Amino acid sequence: MDLSQFFDTFFDEADELLAQMEQLLLELDVNTPDIEQLNAIFRAAHSIKGGAATFGCFQHLAETTHLLENLLDEIRRGEMALRTDMIDTFLETKDVLKSQLDAYRASAVPDEETFTRICGILRQIADEHREAVQGGGAAASSAVAPVAAPVAAPVAAAAAMPAAEVAPAATAAPVQVAPVAAASAPVAVAATAASADTSLPLCVRISGVSGKDAQSLLEEMGHLGRVLGHEQGAESLTVWVESTCSADDIEAVCCFIVDGDQIGISREAYDAQAPAATPAAPAPAQTAAPVPAAVQQAAQEAANVVAQAQSTSAGDISITTNAAPAAPSAPAAPRAAAKPAASAAGADKENTSIRVGVEKVDQVINLVGELVITQAMLAQIASTLDPVLHDRLLNGMEQLERNARDLQESVMSIRMMPMDYVFSRFPRVVRDIATKMGKQIELQTIGRATELDKSLIERIIDPLTHLVRNSLDHGIETPEKRIAAGKDPVGNLMLSAQHSGGNIVIEVSDDGGGLNRERLLQKAISQGIAISENASDDEVWQLIFAPGFSTAEKVTDISGRGVGMDVVRRNIQDMGGHVQLSSTPGEGTTTRIVLPLTLAILDGMSVRVGQETFILPLNHVTESLQPTADQIYSVTGNERVLLVRGEYLPLVEMHRVFDVAGAQADPMQAIAVIMQAQERRFALLVDHLVGQHQVVVKNLESNYRKVPGVSAATILGDGSVALIIDVFALARANREKSFSAEALLN
Amino acid sequence: MAAKPQTHHARVEDAGSEFLVFTLGEEEYGIDILKVQEIRGYDAAVVTRIANVPTFIKGVTNLRGIIVPIVDLRIKFNLGKVEYNEQTVVIILNLDRRVVGIVVDGVSDVLMLNAGQIRPAPEFGATLSTEYLTGLGTVDERMLILVDIERLMTSDEMALVEKVAS
């Protein structure tokens, strides 16, 4: 079978899993990690490893995730204590994994150097831990059972390797290793240690499994090797298998039926007595000593319980373990039962969504757009019919209109994605930068569920990242400065998104020092930007949008090179939005981005110039009026301005810009539409206003190229194409007093 | 089973390839038929003019929801008399995932030309560089100018595709 057809799906899933892993890692509380979160992180790593290994051609990815998974497994079992530097390492590993994934996606080979380095780091953590365990285990054994001391350590080490069954006991409570060693005859222990790898059968324990699943699991085991025997409880299954497969292989097979964390595998002797002994006599393991299996199982259960009750301190653990064998098996069962229920709920959630290519969605959107246009055309024709004679037809038309509109709305909503997609990447950015700069920053996000068109959401990431970096770098002060200013040493960065009319408003606000008016003015003067000393605050703030403008005292690798805010503004304008800035010295800065909800539909005003129809974006139209002679003044002979309520607006004649023949040349007979583009206003001279409608925006570049002064095109009710005016390009060209194609394009 | 496509392929090699033949003034041109998506009548009313572009770009039209630029090859090739009547047709081409329409005086034939019927084109003047020609085809008494339409349409001089620099 050719697996390569599934690569894309795997890449997408792995991407999502990595993002999820990062988010969970960031949320994780180092001191009291939530077991559910740890499990989720582990599952993410495990799924990626599983996928990578299945395809067989992503060795780097599989290897790295394998090491990561082992560590995560030990942590979630409570065998290893979580440390902040581990989270840093894991985050770094996630980045490496991401780059490996990107490399595979581009059919390239991942960077060997980073791979070796990160694997080295991960192995080192594992080794350090193993040494600690060995030391601890040996010491404890010698204390309790001197006889077993020489062999106890190998047992712990060997067991820790494939499935780490004894290891939990070893870390959590070294005492437990000792009973095992002490109870067994030294010879037997020696045998166990020596032959741990091969001669003993694998003992597979699965918890929280239904009878039916247990049956299929048993069959699967049968395929893998010789089943020596099994023991089936109400919700658990223990199978002894003699197999050449490794524990990992068996776990991988079982994962098709149950979750990885429901499975425990160890090498131990199959004893026909054991199945009977375990359920019947959960008495203290020390007394049921001759059966190592029972001890181990009890110990494992105890360790599980301990791991779940993560807040318990080391001291508590040893107490729990001593009492464990009898008590914990009871609470363990309901937990096992609860787990599949939770994972079943998770599975349901996954099944409610499907993965569809964007081009398919776009095709549907296109077709629906066509349908709406056709419907509008029919409606136009139908409106000329006699309503009495064509009653039924007209009723049908009305219904068609409603349905078409509903359909369009539903289809457009497919493209909508929650802002969480963007916001979720900032905790990491904030964490990294805060650490690097020695600042304490708390990130707050509001309105994560606010939806925005997919194409916009992807394009908003870069500008928003830039704004966040700016706030972190220049906005929020160092803790010392903040304390000196009488503020909380922890700075606040807030990201919010909300709908407002047909727009989405995204805000980045910090409680930092705010913009420095004096510094901005100084800088402006030193850079030769014309601005008066007593300009309004707003005008001064606008300076930071000037190309090449930076007020940072020193250039850092985070920001300050001055290539930024102008690009941010440009990007946002390209998306049909605008940026506003407000700042209070000492209290912080808020940047507000206003974007249309979608790029696919635009509220437009259609105007006629000569025989041609153009669409003006309605959100830039402020008013329209018929100019009178006393409102028009000529400047330098060729240029004209229009006086509207005391404001002189440059007069831009559409027919001159777009070279339209037969248009109304006399401004007094034409209509002036006052347009607002960012802070610039101008009057656009057209022949007639035709009407307002929602138009479906069609890209001109897909088959043609960018047209000067035109942002896109649309299809009118009669099937003809109308061009949508690029208001910003007109405003820019007007300022430069040139309507050459080059000026309009820039 | 496995051998079949190969023989099929070989047959195509022998038989040459198919060309759509259209007329521009008195001249006959041929383009690779696999590049042709459809042929439509020319309706000036639904072509929206675009300002500040070369005259041979008539504008853009709506082809079932797709905005398609329309190029008049007669103007591009300097063929003096350019008129629009019932015979004037638009050949919709599908080139490298782009859809472009070309206005021609009429479509006459679909002809199969084998390699022996195609001669290399000599150097002409500047209007149509040999760079864009596949060659000259001979069918009976007729001469066909075989155009590498994809190359021509995506060239800088057609100004249909965004320049890399901008």
For B64-117, how does the pLDDT look when each residue is reduced to its tens digit (9 = 90+)?
878 899 999 888 888 777 788 888 899 999 987 889 999 998 898 898 888 888
Mean pLDDT of chain B: 81
B141 to chain A, closest Cα gap in Å: 38
Q: Bigger pLDDT: A263 or B114?
A: B114
Q: What is the predicted ipTM?
A: 0.81
CB contact under 8 A, A658 and B45: no
Q: Which of B49, B59, B66 sits opposite A703 (nearest CB)?
A: B66
Q: Which of B46, B52, B160 sits opposite A719 (nearest CB)?
A: B46
Structure tokens at A574: 């390209």
Over residues A95-123, mean pLDDT: 83
Instruction: End-to-end CA distance of chain B: give it in Å, rounded.
Output: 50
pLDDT digits 0-9 by tens, A427-462: 888 888 888 888 888 888 998 888 888 888 888 888
What's the CA gap between A33 and A36, in Å, rounded?
Answer: 9
Alpha-carbon dihedral sign for residues A486, A489, A490, A494: positive
Instruction: Report the 10 Å Cβ neighbour count for A486.
Output: 7
Structure tokens at B13: 């090699």
CB contact under 8 A, A715 and B65: yes
Residues of A in contact with B60 (CB under 8 A): 700, 704, 713, 721
Q: What are phi and psi of A439, to 5 degrees?
A: -110, 155
Task: Kindly state the percentage of chain B with pLDDT values over 90.
Answer: 21
Task: Kindly state the percentage of chain A with pLDDT values over 70.
Answer: 68
Q: Which of A721, A723, A741 sits opposite B61 (nearest CB)?
A: A721
Task: Give the best residue of A362, A697, A703, A725 to mutate against chain B (max B CB count within 10 A).
Answer: A703
pLDDT at res. A225: 67
Q: Which of A659, A703, A710 sits opposite B99 (nearest CB)?
A: A703
Q: Bigger pLDDT: B112 or A333?
A: B112
- Whether A182 shows a pLDDT value over 50: the answer reads no
Helical H segments across A543-690, by residue range: 565-574, 654-657
Instruction: Report the 10 Å Cβ neighbour count for A323.
Output: 11
Say whether residue A611 is in contact with chain B using an 8 A CB cutoff: no
pLDDT at res. A260: 59
The pLDDT-based confidence of A743 (bands split at 50, 70, 90) is: low
Task: Kindly state the percentage of chain A with pLDDT values over 90.
Answer: 3
Coil/strand/helix, residue A242:
strand
Residues of A in contact with B150 (CB under 8 A): none
Q: Which of A17-21, A189-193, A706-710 has the lowest mean pLDDT?
A: A189-193
What's the CA gap between A326 and A279, in Å, rounded?
Answer: 10
Annotate A179-204 with DSSP letters as a single string: HHHHHS-HHHHHHHHHHTTTTSPEEE
A359 to chain B, closest Cα gap in Å: 13
**Residue A552 contacts residue A559 (beta carbons within 8 Å):** yes
pLDDT at res. B14: 52
Say whether residue A25 is in contact with chain B using an 8 A CB cutoff: no
pLDDT at res. A256: 57
CB contact under 8 A, A708 and B62: no
Q: Say what angle helices A35-55 and A7-27 make with each other, to 10 degrees.
A: 160
pLDDT at res. A479: 87
Q: Which of A74-78, A486-490, A504-508, A529-533 has the lowest mean pLDDT?
A: A529-533
Residue A698 bridge partners (DSSP)? A713
Residues of A in contact with B90 (CB under 8 A): none
The pLDDT-based confidence of A490 (bands split at 50, 70, 90) is: confident
